[in-house]
Amino acid sequence: MSVSEQNIQIELIKEKAIANAQDLINNNHITDLESKTNGLSLHEESSYLFDPAIFSMIKTSEFKFQYDKFELMKSSHSQENLVDLGDDLVLRPLKRDDFGRSYMNLLSHLTEIGDVNQQDYEKRFDQMKQADNTYFICVVEDVKNQKVVASLTLVYEQKFIRHTGSRGRFEDMVVDVDYRGKKLSKLLLDVLIQVSQILGCYKISLECKDPLRKHYEQFGFCLEQGQNYLCRRFI
């Protein structure tokens, strides 16, 4: 599949996702997001890193684990498709104003983040968004406390090999220490694995420390024989 054909496929996926979402609305399967978020102010679709309509294509029947709630929601104000997880938790794409929802503090649970201010964050967000259909950062927000509490990144790489195919890389999995034990990391993996399949990736990969291997092996990841992960750090 050529790059142009892949871009067409992604646009068709978006159109299908929007149509599916509208069908759910017509059949009263989508709840009102504004009431679920206790009146939380919502922003336009452009503030999202990627189109949340893709969530309407997620099939819960294909999840590796069962979750208490996974319900597509609807805001009558901004036409956004998010996912209600229950307990005031919402699954959605990263937003441009998530600096104010402690996103960088969340990442500090994962590794050193350095001195990143709001301007730095917004500049990087804009650069990622301009690289259309490349960065899929999926987060969980506690809407009652207006705080991002979990995050996982899917990086979508377009290749010349494999008939100009594409692969996905999972990075920066992190869950706030106060929200662990709620299967949020499993949920993020289940969701973004399906997103990578929807995007047509021929494979996905990730890097992890030895104690976490069993966690990821539950989702079909494996250490391939003869493959080595090498790293050279500059900082």
What domains can be seen in the chain, in order of their start residue?
A: 3-217 (3.40.630.30)
For 220, residues 6+ apart whose C-beta sits below 8 A from its C-beta are 193
φ/ψ (deg, to 5) at 170: -95, 135
| Distance between CA atoms of residues 40 and 144, nearest Å | 8
Average pLDDT of the segment spanning 36-59: 71
Q: Per DSSP, which regions of the chain are E strands?
A: 31-32, 71-74, 81-86, 89-93, 135-142, 147-158, 166-175, 201-206
Contact (Cβ atoms closer than 8 angstroms) between residue 198 and residue 231: no
Q: Does residue 46 sit in helix, strand or coil?
A: helix
The answer to whether residue 38 scores a pLDDT higher than 80 is no
Residue with the bigger pLDDT between 166 and 24: it is 166
| Distance between CA atoms of residues 228 and 160, nearest Å | 22
The answer to whether residue 206 scores a pLDDT higher than 70 is yes
> Distance between the two ends of the chain, CA-based, in angstroms?
38
Contact (Cβ atoms closer than 8 angstroms) between residue 73 and residue 84: yes
Average pLDDT of the segment spanning 208-218: 95
Residue with the bigger pLDDT between 45 and 122: it is 122
Average pLDDT of the segment spanning 118-131: 98
Structure tokens at 73: 């929601």
Q: Look over the chain and give the mean of its residue pLDDT values, rounded to a whole number.
A: 85
| Distance between CA atoms of residues 8 and 37, nearest Å | 34
| Distance between CA atoms of residues 28 and 25, nearest Å | 5
Least trusted range by pLDDT, from 50-54, 183-187, 224-228:
224-228
Average pLDDT of the segment spanning 123-129: 98
Q: Does residue 226 sit in helix, strand or coil?
A: coil
Q: Which residue has the tokens 């929007």?
A: 18
Contact (Cβ atoms closer than 8 angstroms) between residue 66 and residue 102: no
Q: Which of 216, 128, 138 lies closest to 175 in space, CA to CA?
A: 138
Rounded to 5, what percent of the chain is helix, strand, coil?
A: 40, 25, 35
Residue-level pLDDT at 46: 72
Residue-level pLDDT at 127: 98
Average pLDDT of the segment spanning 121-127: 98
The answer to whether residue 21 scores a pLDDT higher than 70 is no
The pLDDT confidence band at residue 234, using thresholds 50, 70 and 90, is: very high
pTM of the model as a whole: 0.81
Q: Does residue 99 sit in helix, strand or coil?
A: helix
Average pLDDT of the segment spanning 59-85: 85
| Distance between CA atoms of residues 168 and 206, nearest Å | 9
Residue with the bigger pLDDT between 4 and 127: it is 127
